[in-house]
Structure 1
Amino acid sequence: MSSLDILAGTWTTAGAADAGADDDRSPHDFRTRVEVAAKAGFTGVGIGYLDLLEAEKTYGHNDIKAMLADNGIKHFEIEMLLNWFVTDERRTFADEQRAIMFRAAEAIGARHVKVGGDFSGGDFESDHMAAEFQALCRNAADAGTRVAFEPMPFVNVKTPQQALEFVEKADHPAGGVLLDIWHIARAGLDVTSVASIPARWIADIELDDAPLQFEGDMIADTFNGRRLPGEGELDVQGFVDAIKSTGYDGIWGVEILSTEYRKRPIEEAVPAAYRATAQYLQ
């Protein structure tokens, strides 16, 4: 096995899960996903909220922790907390999710919890986001984990630079920005622009690929149109080299959301994702 630390993001092992739907649970048991990922060479795995609830019900926190350790999985990721900063009725459910995610993160030992922006779009108020993010980071630190904010071109915080406006203002060691090549490219940015981001604020990296042009809805594209690294037209190596130039020394993730990828058996798809990602990190 390679000594590379690569994390299989939630959707990389989820098989034919209906990503983006209200019920986005994987048809595969979490133990199966962990074992397939470990066999492929991954040292990290991610899990989505609904699958986390299923795994908690089936195994419990202690058994999940043991399952990861027994398979050599050192890095555990939980996603995706939304609406942690809103002031409307969505906040109630978000706070319930927040408590469950951090409780699991503490009991199992999560590297980080992924958090996102407002899918209804609009603008963001930097001071408000900073205050809420700082509070979120304190919760994460209390649970022995971190939070990784993922900017996306179709939410209120569209670019890494916008995210840094409040992440730097919050100035908490338990928080940073997640940089996904797909979201950066679809935001119209040069993927090598990440070289200007201070390494201390880079919480996580996600690799994938895509055609330069796409048709239709961008949110549909993010759930269905991605490709394995090297199978699209994005400058994956340029992105990796730009990240490395910052001094970032953390793990690398691969996140594949693709109609075609979901059709493949996970025993075939997950090793393919590992090989496609590892070629850029050697």
Structure 2
Amino acid sequence: MSFAYPNSPAPLALGAICFRDRPFPQILAAAAASGFSGIGLTVGQCVSALERGIALEELPERIADAGLALAELELVRLCDEGPTRYANGLVEDLIGVLEPDRVHTAAFAGDPGRIADEFAALCRRHPDTPVAVEFMPYSAVRDLASARQLVAHAGTPNAAIVLDIVHFFRSGSAVEEIDPDALRDVAVVQLSDVSARPGVPLAREARHLRTYPGRGSLDTAGFLRRIRESAEHLPPISVEPISDALECLPLDVVSEEVMFTTLRVLEQSKLR
């Protein structure tokens, strides 16, 4: 069974973690001004908007008024106990309110069997929404092969994968693993870049030290060329240079640089 979007998704989105602490109106203004077709949101950003007096039910209208779509909603944490389960519940409640192109999920705990069962159950609870699992080398779903096993176990049309370039290379994957079969499971390709920093843990690198696409040492061109050569249909792209340093800059400056660098690497890889 191959994944397919029920509707046309936003082809180029400004990822949610580009603006962890920014006010919701700034997010919309910057993404729209730079020409993105969609944005991502986290549950925390939705709560922050609510605390600023924007009702959750208002969010879809405001996003649409800005000429944008909600490309991705984050994050359901599989097998997470304690207070996190309440955040997971809110993410799931928001799926019906916000109607995102896809909802993202990940697992940082749990044995493989339980993770697989919880992922399948999440997919079944939301049959009309693509559910994309994000593998990370420091999580309980470490690589592309493991993520594909989850999709196969779920066996539902909405089960899919987030193909993040940083996690792909840092998990030890090779571009040869990106073939037509693998890409049929991919809901979105996430772009950013990193450069090796001796002694820096992978989780810290991924969550705090990324940069714009093509600015680091990853083989972005080879990664994108392989996708172009192997994909029947090009997946949507989300750009997420997660960086403590970039968060110190005005969001409209970051958004413009995200757009320029992304367009350049897409053009270099003959994807535009």
Counterpart among 196, 203, 209 of residue 219 in structure 1: 203
1:5 matched to 2:15? The reply is: no
In 2, Cα distance between equivalents of 1:145 and 1:56:
23
Q: Alignment identity in percent?
A: 23
Pairwise CA distance, 1:61:
3.1
The Cα shift of 1:196 comes to 5.4
Residue 6 of structure 2: aligned partner: none
Whether the 8 Å contact between 2:41 and 2:70 is mirrored in structure 1 is no
Q: CA deviation at 1:180?
A: 0.4
Instruction: Give the corresponding residue for 1:131.
Output: 117
Structure 1 position 106 matched with structure 2 position 96: yes
Deviation at 1:175, TM superposition (A): 1.5
Query: In structure 2, how many angstroms separate the alpha carbons of the residues matched to 1:38 and 1:264?
Result: 18
**Displacement of 1:92 after TM fit?**
4.8
Letter in 2 for 1:101: V
Say if 1:129 and 1:259 are closer, same or farther in 2 by CA, change over 3 A.
closer
- Looking at structure 1, the residues matched to 193 and 181 of structure 2 have their Cα atoms a distance apart, in angstroms, of 21
Report runs of 4+ in structure 1 exceeding 6 Å deviation.
Answer: none
In structure 1, distance between residues paired with 2:204 and 2:124: 34
Q: Report the counterpart of residue 66 of structure 1 in structure 2.
A: 61
Any unmatched runs of 5+ in structure 1?
18-25
Partner residue of 1:236? 220
Q: How does 1:49-198 map to 2 (within 5 A)?
A: 49-57=43-51, 58-82=53-77, 84=78, 86=79, 90-118=80-108, 124-125=111-112, 127-141=113-127, 144-195=128-179, 197-198=181-182
Aligned 8 A contact 1:192 1:238 in 2: no
Q: 1:214 to 1:180 in 2, by over 3 A?
A: farther
Structure-2 change in CA distance of 1:53 and 1:177 (3 Å): same
Contact 2:43 2:74 in 1 (8 A): yes
Query: What secondary structure sits across from 1:133 in the alignment?
Result: helix
Superposition TM-score, scaled by structure 2 size: 0.86
Number of matched residues? 256
The equivalent of 2:4 in structure 1 is none
| Gap change, CA 1:232 and 1:184, over 3 Å in 2 | same
Secondary structure of 1:158 counterpart: coil
Q: Give the corresponding residue for 1:20.
A: none
The aligned residue for residue 262 of structure 2 is 277
Q: 1:247 aligns with which of 223, 229, 232?
A: 232
Task: Verify the 8 A CA contact 1:9 1:47 in the aligned structure 2.
Answer: yes
Structure 1's 147 and 79: CA in aligned 2 closer, same or farther, altered over 3 A? Answer: same
1:23 equivalent in structure 2:
none
Shift of 1:192: 4.9
TM-score, with length taken from structure 1 = 0.83
Q: Distance in 2 between matches of 1:214 and 1:205?
A: 27
Work out the CA distance in 2 between the residues paired with 1:182 and 1:152.
9
Root-mean-square deviation (CA, aligned residues, Å) is 2.0
The answer (yes or no) to whether the contact 2:70–2:98 under 8 Å persists in 1 is no
